[in-house]
Amino acid sequence: MSTYINPEGTPGQIVQMFLRDGSSELVLSEPIIAEVLEALAYPKVLKAARSKTDPALWFEDLVVLSQLCGDDVTVKRISANPDDDKYVACAIDDRATFVVSGDPDLLTAGQHESVRIVTPRSFLSSISSTDL
């Protein structure tokens, strides 16, 4: 969402790295895709966006390049908002290392099993320090 609104911001840098380098993977599930598409259609998102590209088409490009996880994994309530737990479940299902989010409810959890829940800035710092 943040990447669509402000492609030059930290989340946008992460997406650009994903698109350019393939150094990380984007893991999505059908429920995550549906939630993002719904949010991209919010009038406040459309108004704030710097891009004039149709948001659904923009996101479709990312979906095509992403890994789709199943809905097999469920997790006990991790976030104050149980709707956020699908992000961690998807990460566990696909053996991802990180969930990158700006959502305060999700960030409060910090980590679940082997999945670290971090801000975009923390993620960039983590991968920069491992590249050295």
Mind listing the domains of the chain with CATH numbers?
A: 2-131 (3.40.50)
Q: What pLDDT sits at residue 132?
A: 41
Report, as ranges of residue numbers, the positions in the chain whose pLDDT lies below 70.
Answer: 130-132
Q: What pLDDT sits at residue 43?
A: 94
Give the SS3 label for residue 20. Answer: helix
Nearest to 64 by CA among 10, 28, 14, 21: 28
What gap in Å lies between CA 22 and CA 17, rounded to an integer? 7
Nearest to 16 by CA among 79, 74, 55, 61: 61
Q: Please say whether the beta carbons of 101 and 87 come within 8 A.
A: yes
Nearby residues of 29 by Cβ (< 8 Å), 6 or more positions away: 68, 69, 70, 71, 86, 89, 90, 93
Q: What pLDDT sits at residue 85?
A: 93
pTM over 0.85: yes
